[in-house]
Amino acid sequence: MNINNVKLVACTVLPCQYPQNKLPDIALAGRSNVGKSSLINRLANRKSLARVSSSPGKTATVNFYEVDNTVNIVDLPGYGYAKVSKAEKAKWANMIETYLNKREGLINVLQLVDIRHKPTDDDVLMLDWIRRSGFSPVVIATKKDKLKKSQVQGAIDIIKDTLSVDTVIPFSAEKGDGCSEVWDVINTILKEAGF
């Protein structure tokens, strides 16, 4: 896969706006400000492909990034905390739910959590949905560079325990740690789904 050939193909609110490029989707789910856009930028090796903000809740649409005419990486709006109105939060929740339940080409959802914090109830619910939908859980712990090396394993153990998963990929958009592991997972998902 030529990871330099990554482009934003659609920012959508409604299913009728989803791209019809017939490629499989792998979506990124996580709380507001967990680093989904930063992960996309690091995976694509581009600084500002996906818009990044220090204030939570900047991704207000379902954004599709086409990678090498092979897969759509889909950036979902964050759930949980965001400095937006209840009405806006409800709209986002509906947008996420509609995408997850109606998108036929969806082949997996990668769960992003902040390595510095114990996963929230929202994270647990999201991972339950991923399991119930028949997807293999993949958990990526972002912002690894914000912890000391000695703190990383303990933080990963808490995430594994809270979410009942065997594997967590520690990731740093800043330094690139975990980038090749995430690509390996994406390639495995595509292969297992027959793409």
Enumerate domains of the chain plus CATH numbers. Answer: 6-192 (3.40.50.300)
Average pLDDT over all residues of the chain: 90
pLDDT at 4 over 80: no
* Percent of the residues in the chain that have a pLDDT greater than 90, as a whole number: 75
How much is the average pLDDT of 117-136? Answer: 94
Residue 139 and residue 111 in contact, taking contact as beta carbons nearer than 8 Å: yes
pLDDT (average), residues 33-47? 91
Confidence (pLDDT) at 182: 97
What pLDDT is recorded for position 1? 61
Residues facing 168 on adjacent strands: 139
Residue 55: phi, psi to the nearest 5? -95, 135
Residue 141: closest CA among 39, 48, 37: 39
pLDDT of residue 54: 52
Mean pLDDT calculated for residue range 174-191: 96
Query: At residue 29, does pLDDT exceed 70?
Result: yes
Coil, helix or strand at residue 160: helix
What are the angstrom distances between the C-alpha of 38 and each of 4, 91, 112, 151?
Answer: 16, 23, 11, 22
pTM: 0.92
pLDDT at 74: 96
Confidence of residue 185 (pLDDT cuts 50, 70, 90): very high
Whether 157 and 115 have beta carbons less than 8 Å apart is answered as no
- The kind and range of the H/E element at 8 are strand 6-12
